[in-house]
Amino acid sequence: MSKIHPLIQQLSKLRESSKEAVADANIVLDDELKRYLHIRRSIEQELEGQILEAYNQDGPGLIMVCGNVGDGKSHLLSKLKESKKLKDVLPAFTTYNDATESFSPNETSNHALRRKLAGFADVKLGEGNPRIILAINLGTLNNFLEEYGAEFSHMDSYVRRKGIIDEDVSLDHHTEEQDRYFRYVNFTNRHFFNLGPHGALASPIAELLEKVVSAEKNNPIYQGYLQAKEESWAPFDPVLHNYELLFKSAYREVVAQLIVTCIVMEKQIISFRQLLNFIYDIIVPYQLSKIYGPDYGHEIAKKDIGQRLAFSLPYYIFENPNLSKIFHSLNVHDPAVRRYEGMDERIILLFTEVDPLNWLSVEYKDLFPRSSGFEIHPDLDYKIISKAYLRYEFFDRAEDIRYGDNYFREYLKYLYAFNNGDKPGLRGVVDLVKSATYAWNGGTIEKKVIIVPTAVKNSTYRVFKDLTLKGSWSKDMELRGMDEISEFRQELMLKFSTGDNNPTEPFDLAIDYALFVLLKSVSLGYRPNKIDRYTYIGFDRFVEQVTFSSIEMKTLYVDQINFGKPLDYQFDFDEENDEFTFIKK
């Protein structure tokens, strides 16, 4: 055997620590594997179009390629150098791949960036013809504008109005004369999945996984797999087994959808580097990654069936929360923990079998390939058997309704409607916010009445006021009519008004998935505790704002706590007689 496992050798290039990583946009991308794995995304096509526009216009042009560390900015700029469409255009641009770079020990990175962008300062904007492509992290851009925003006010205004740095702001679609000098693409609004009317479309991730296992001559990873298959230990190698499991499109789709849950449910920011590293980790168990080449066959031959199960992808992916943030998030969504009643019944039936392990090996031949040379040991821990069963069931039958999260599907539906400008499609979540707002501090049988919190807790009386909460829509919100959305925000940015005679500005509310689930619970009767109010302080503040909006003009009701009965007293201001009244209803 060679000193290095042929498949592991190729897969190791996917790791974040790999020396193969492209870090310099001035080097033409010539690495065989990264050239093969490249997936053309919509952001690449958009950036090409912006470069051509800037090239063909008179005057300067600054194109900002924005994002976070490791999201693919360098890779994208390197790939553009191979574009035939841009062959004669790119030489006219100066490319800065690292906005923090400074060539002088006495010069800060902000000062260096100021020097590079001097042609776009207010006093020089419109003069000359500088053309720059700037790859910059959002934190760096924010720091630069905080220090030099007054000097680059037109650039600062453009960045703020377009919501490049702050996704929570409402996008301003009006343009200024100087806007034609600035363009941008933003990786933070591009994800490893797209939105459709029925949920998340994880095709970009699934496509990457398909490339990793594709039986093509120009796929170095697959060629490494073929070499490893020639080894005597190949039939019982867990790494080869995991790689072969990904030959199944259903398994690739499950892995892709699991990544989507990390991004949406757990609000993880997953870079392209982290995604590649994750693919390596689910195929190559860390316990096997550092076994010295000549000892590999001997070492894996000593592994018993329990260890083999622990190395198998559907089992391993949920069992190692300390490997990375992605693995930690997946551990939370382990199907062996998040079970349902019908699945528990299946487990009971499994263990009433005379030989449950034999039944399992027949049901899931991938677990115990007969060519592996392993004998099924009768003393195998049944806890391992049940976990393996549940996790393989999840991978084999993930499309079944029992594995669906109704709240998750509903949230994705609203996310699609919001980013598609579909107002009727958001009616359900608007009604949900209304219901949860009225119930946040305690409910009443009266409709459109909300409890007014008092400084001193009172167990005898409660104070209420009328509140008519309405969804408020931006004038710029128009139906986009897109079947698939590749650029979108991951939070619902809604506005509400209180319908007062003297209306204030609409109240903004950002709803992520976790808050959406809490609002669902509150609308069903759950009472938020102190931790909820602290964790979701944004919604707690929203309820406070709408509650006390125009309160000095509102009639207040005082209720003796007697649940199920009408409100008891009314506190009001009599304008005719210029006096307050307090009457029993």
What is the per-residue pLDDT across 8-46, written as a single tens digit (0 to 9) for each? 999 998 886 654 443 433 333 346 777 788 777 788 889
pLDDT in the model for residue 242: 94
Q: Are 315 and 388 in contact (CB under 8 A)?
A: yes
Which residues are within 8 A (CB) of 365 and not within 5 positions of it... i.e. 6 or more apart? Answer: none
Which alpha helices (DSSP H) does 117-271 contain, by range?
138-148, 153-161, 203-213, 220-229, 238-245, 249-264
Inter-CA distances, 274 with 49, 99, 270, 507, 513, Å = 28, 22, 6, 37, 22
261, β-bridge pairs: none
> 485-487 and 579-584: which strand pairing?
unpaired
Give the residue from 105, 155, 108, 153 showing the smallest Cα distance to 130.
155
Question: How many residues in the chain?
Answer: 585
The gap from C-alpha 547 to its chain's centroid, in whole angstroms, comes to: 32
DSSP letters spanning 306-321: HHHHHHSHHHHTTT-T
Strand ranges across the sheet with 449-451 = 449-451, 461-466, 556-560, 569-574, 579-584
Please identify every stretch of the chain with a pLDDT value under 50, giving residue numbers as ranges: 1-2, 19-30, 170-171, 369-374
**Amino acid at site 415:** L
CA pair distance 343, 354, nearest whole angstrom: 19
Q: Where are the domain boundaries for CATH 3.40.50 in the chain?
A: 30-190
CA pair distance 211, 203, nearest whole angstrom: 12
470, β-bridge pairs: 497
Domain covering 30-190 assigned CATH 1.10.3470 in the classification: no
Q: Are 572 and 580 in contact (CB under 8 A)?
A: yes
What is the per-residue pLDDT across 429-459, written as a single tens digit (0 to 9) for each? 999 999 999 999 887 666 788 888 876 666 6
Write down the pTM of the prediction.
0.80
pLDDT in the model for residue 23: 40
- ∠ CA 173-176-178, nearest 5°, is 130
pLDDT in the model for residue 114: 92
pLDDT in the model for residue 372: 47
Q: What is the 3-state secondary structure (H, E, C) of 466-515?
A: ECCCEEECCCCCCCCCCCCEEECCCCEEEEEECCCCCCCCCEEEEECHHH
pLDDT in the model for residue 373: 47
